[in-house]
Amino acid sequence: MDLVTIDDVRAAAERVRPHVVRTPLLAERWGDPDRPLWIKPESLQAIGAFKVRGAFNAIAVRAAAATDVVAYSSGNHAQAVAYAAAVHGLHAHIVMPEETPNVKIEATREHGARVVLCGAGQREAVAAQVVAETGGVMIPPFDDPNVIAGQGTIGLEIAEDLPGLRTVLIPVSGGGLASGIATAVRALCPDATILGVEPELAADTAEGLRRGQRADWPIQDRNRTIADGLRSQPSELTFAHLRQLLDGMITVSEDEIRSAVRELADRAHLVAEPSGAVALAGYRKGPIPAGPAVVIVSGGNIEPRLLREILAV
């Protein structure tokens, strides 16, 4: 299977540069002194999450001649595709499960996208139907080399800003973010330790990498974690990247995730969603090699009520 290369990531960086925030790498003074903590705040992207990077790259490569794009997502990928499509003057059709919180449906519509609601478990079928009807180009959330290369631009920026990094910690769900960042970091900082982080309640990738093949956890199990952006599982393509590139996985408890959300608010001045805070939870849990450690804060889209509940403890 062909994996994404550093050249693919470099090409993606050229394409997405006009459209994404080049997030700063923030030196934090409150980490472990032996493992200086750096934060990459992707929560500052226009839709509040890293997903714009992959969406812009995939649309630039695959929808250059198209008039319509299609995606299925209940989360940040929906808004990323809707936003990137609007910037490029394309019609976006976003398939979302009926149970999606209204605030996320409205946020997607605000970008001018058409939202197509579907029943549970129907979203891939309904998306295929929308593609057939509209002739639109499907933009998958992670199972796509262009999406992976787009997310990899984060790794490129980290290697530019901190070439001496020792460790990078990345949230893992479908694996697009981790595949992309790991591609760039492995190429540019070959001695770095690359760690994925998952909730214990959705630790299918940790199990899969131990066994050497993808593990399938029932969705009702994965849905238990508060980290609602980390309930997907890798595809064959992303799993192949993770297997080749990751040095290990750390799994974190729900309490550790909540603590990390609090720590980011109180010490880094950043509002993170639970999925965006797991890498910090992994840094706190360890073990982490001595030396500079970069934590990806992947997104900030948390419901105001949940933020208050987590902070109130």
Residue ranges in contact with its own copies by CB under 8 A? 21-24, 26-27, 29, 41, 43-44, 46, 48, 110, 265-266, 269-272, 300-301, 304, 307-308, 311-312
Q: How far is the CB of 165 from its own copies (least distance, A)?
A: 17
Q: Which is nearer to its own copies, 52 or 187 (CB)?
A: 52
3-state DSSP of 203-231: CHHHHHHHHCCCCCCCHHHHCCCCCCCCC
- Phi/psi zone of residue 48: left (φ > 0), alpha (ψ -120 to 50 degrees), beta? left
In the DSSP assignment, the letter for residue 28 is: E
Inter-residue contact 167 to 38 (CB < 8 Å): no
51 is catalytic: yes
How far is it, in rounded angstroms, from Cα 83 to Cα 113?
8
How far is it, in rounded angstroms, from Cα 206 to Cα 229?
17
Strands 37-41, 26-28: pairing is antiparallel
Q: Which is nearer to its own copies, 195 or 264 (CB)?
A: 264
Catalytic-labelled residue, pool 40, 43, 51, 104? 51
Q: Which is nearer to its own copies, 238 or 301 (CB)?
A: 301
Q: Which is nearer to its own copies, 211 or 305 (CB)?
A: 305
Q: How far is the CB of 26 from its own copies (least distance, A)?
A: 6
Q: Which is nearer to its own copies, 82 or 130 (CB)?
A: 82
Q: 256 φ, ψ to 5°?
A: -65, -35
Q: Which residues lie across from 17 on neighbouring strands? A: none
Q: How far is the CB of 47 from its own copies (least distance, A)?
A: 8
Q: How far is the CB of 205 from its own copies (least distance, A)?
A: 26
In this structure, the chain runs to a length of: 313
40 is catalytic: no
Q: How far is the CB of 176 from its own copies (least distance, A)?
A: 21
Distance spanning both ends of the chain, measured CA to CA: 47
Catalytic-labelled residue, pool 43, 74, 173, 298? 298
List active site positions. Answer: 51, 298
